[in-house]
Amino acid sequence: MKIYGYSERGAMNALFYEMALMKDSDKEFVKFLEIANVPNANDYQNFKIYNECSLSRFGTPDLVVVAQRENVNVVFFIEGKVSECSGFRMESIIKEYKDTKKRPNSSNLLFQIRQKQNLYNFRNSLPDSSKVVKIDDKIETSLGTRSIGNNPIVRKFVDVIKNCQEAKYIAIVPDISNEDNEWKNKLEKEGFNELLFISWESIRKNFSSYKLLNDTFEFNEGDDPRIKTPSKKKKSQILNNPIKQITIN
């Protein structure tokens, strides 16, 4: 049997499920943190991964990872985005988020990260899972009124996050190294200066031994019949530029 995942969800599942099945899975996740430039990545251990669990009106993160660093519980909120065969640009993401004429799209990367920032920043104001949330038990956040509701699984998950003393935010996106760095200043002005980035291209290179992940990348590449130039025909649903051959230094 073979499994071929599609787009963002397929790539996320392939990466982290395959990682969890590795003999030394903690070491593999530390490598992921190192590539994402998380300071002192080797200090983290005892990883627990929560895949696409609901946080009610605070959104549904692609991945939440809880780890220990010495005696501190740290939560990593991880969101993934892909190129959708048309290219991914942070300038476009920021512009969409800042658009004052309409509410930012709930699938917008920065909207999703801000939701998780709000949840973590207001965590001490949220009731624990033993208390019933009433209709007026809502919190005013930067994105409007939010509530965690009464779903027992959501409440249990929120309790896990509330037990963390530190939060970090990571975005997995297509390679944006060729983009004008002005977006970094704009991102900082919007309060996302702590957001870390890791590219799908670097993941494909550094986790090249993951067969399921490689199969997923290959499945999500194909020739666009509308384009006549051979060198430009190949498109990727995940990457900004398809990679035919990976070279490990």
Among 100, 103, 115, smallest CA distance to 192 is for: 115
Residue 98's contacts (CB-CB under 8 Å, 6 or more residues apart) are 190
**Model confidence at 130: pLDDT above 90:** no
Composition of the chain by helix, strand, coil, percent to 5 = 40, 20, 40
Q: How high is the pLDDT of residue 227?
A: 87
Give the model confidence (pLDDT) of 40-66 as tens digits: 999 999 999 999 999 999 999 999 999
**Residue 248 confidence class, pLDDT cut points 50, 70, 90:** very low
Rounded-to-integer distance, Cα 11 and Cα 16, Å: 9
Instruction: State the average pLDDT over residues 138-149.
Output: 83
**All residues at 6 or more sequence positions from 80 whose CB lies less than 8 Å from its CB, including other chains:** 8, 11, 12, 62, 63, 171, 172, 173
pTM of the complete model:
0.92
Q: What are residue 39's phi and psi, to 5 degrees?
A: -60, 140
Cα 3 from Cα 87, distance rounded (Å): 25
Tell me the percentage of the chain whose pLDDT exceeds 90: 72
Residue 102: how many CB atoms within 10 A of its CB?
A: 7
Among the ranges given (11-15, 58-62, 97-101, 210-214), the one the predictor scored with the smallest mean pLDDT: 97-101
**Residue 35 contacts residue 206 (beta carbons within 8 Å):** yes
Q: What's the whole-number mean pLDDT along residues 75-90? A: 95
The per-residue pLDDT for range 162-219, each reduced to its tens digit, is 999 999 999 999 999 888 889 999 999 999 999 999 999 999 999 999 999 999 999 9
What is the residue-averaged pLDDT of the chain? 91
